[in-house]
Chain A
Amino acid sequence: MKIVIAEGKTKADFLIGSLLKKKHSLMVINEDRAFCDYLAQTHKIPILHGDSSKIYTLADAKIENYDILIALSAYDSDNLAICQAAKRLFHIKKTVAVVSNPKNVDVFKTLGVNTAISATYLLTQIIEQASTVDILLHTISIEHNKLVLTELLMDKHCPYQYRQLQEIPLPDRALICCVLRGNDMLPPQNELLLLPNDKLIFLSSPSAQDTIIATMTGRKTK
């Protein structure tokens, strides 16, 4: 894929290294002259020195030929301007921004940035999930947070052990994808008898996740 990396230092450096390993074609725009020099010595990629939030800089970089733009500036407002310019004026389909203020994750989405990432936001989600439920083994957001995969352990408190899989009441927009038993992957057939220490993998909307966890722990939903 053709990717533009705008601004950033340590994050940009790491990302450039790992994207090049995966054979993506990159273009780097950075305001910091010394960082541009360093990158030019380390990698053979096009580098443009300039302020990425200036429209003429983006025009000079010919970013309209790229698929994705990633904005890594430390200032949220700069990242917003960069992504909006890339999208509206240069028709880049996908823009990704890192934000320092976790509240800006939703603001950016409302204002047209495809994906906004905040380390604090992710950390909070992980801590909340880890601290509320012991049986929650893994959870992964997919399809831009529209769906989540949830892996739950059937512990001794689960009301559905020694019951059939079809007895688990599922909320709307939720299904059981698979049951893991030891090293076996069992298809989610209705008659499957569930045993202690089985691991169930659910696919659902994020809002249904709480209901599923509540059902499996035998608690009431909050």
Chain B
Amino acid sequence: MFGTKNKSILIAGCGRLGGSIAGSLSEQGYKVTVIDPDKEAFRKLPPAFSGFQIIGDATDLDTLVKAGIKDTDILMATADRDNVNLMIAQIGNVIYEVKQVYIRLYDMEKQQLVEGLHIYPIFPAKLSIQEFERLSTIDIKEELL
């Protein structure tokens, strides 16, 4: 397990999702860097967070380089806007060759824009539906989504 703990993780967007994952991975010993344009957003990080905080626009190449994208193993794009996440993810995967890129997408249709790349989408809507199915035991037909 020691090998995985040395992995560096770059998280773009310190909202509830980005902030929680950043806090948890930092506590587990991963090397974590978080980018957010709003300094206040970093208040969501737990007190034990020992990673780096970069204030800036994560679609800007200089900000990403400053945040260490060239040596990042895992990139997570968790900004509010889908299009911002799509841009960050593609810069990471195509330009800086980050092997593992995760992206939060509210709009499931937009997955088509990153098909064929090593970019793995996370859909809150889809996860909520699955959770609803589990809690209610009512089956939602996937093909209707």
Contacts and interface: CB of A to CB of B under 8 A. Distances in A.
Interface of A: 53-56, 75-78, 80-81, 84-85, 88-89, 101, 103-104, 107, 110-111
Interface string B49-86: 00000000001111000000000000000000111101
Q: Dominant SS at the A interface?
A: helix
Given A77-B81, A101-B60, A103-B61, A56 B109 contact: yes
A137 B95 CA distance: 36
Interface string B85-108: 011001100110000000000010
Interface of B: 59-62, 81-84, 86-87, 90-91, 94-95, 107, 109-110, 112-113
A49 to B, nearest CB: 18
Given A53-B83, A55-B109, A76 B59 contact: yes
B83 A111 contact: no
A88 B60 contact: no
Contacts of B84: 75, 77
Contact of B112 (A53, A76, A88): A88
A81 B61 contact: no
21 contacts: A53-B83, A54-B109, A55-B107, A55-B109, A56-B109, A75-B81, A75-B83, A75-B84, A76-B87, A77-B86, A77-B87, A78-B83, A80-B87, A81-B110, A85-B110, A85-B113, A89-B112, A101-B60, A103-B60, A103-B62, A111-B90
Given A76-B59, A81-B86, A110-B94, A88 B81 contact: no
Residue of A54, A77, A107 with highest tally of chain B CB at under 10 A: A77
Contacts of B86: 77, 80-81, 84
Contacts of B60: 101, 103
Contact of A81 (B62, B94, B113): B113
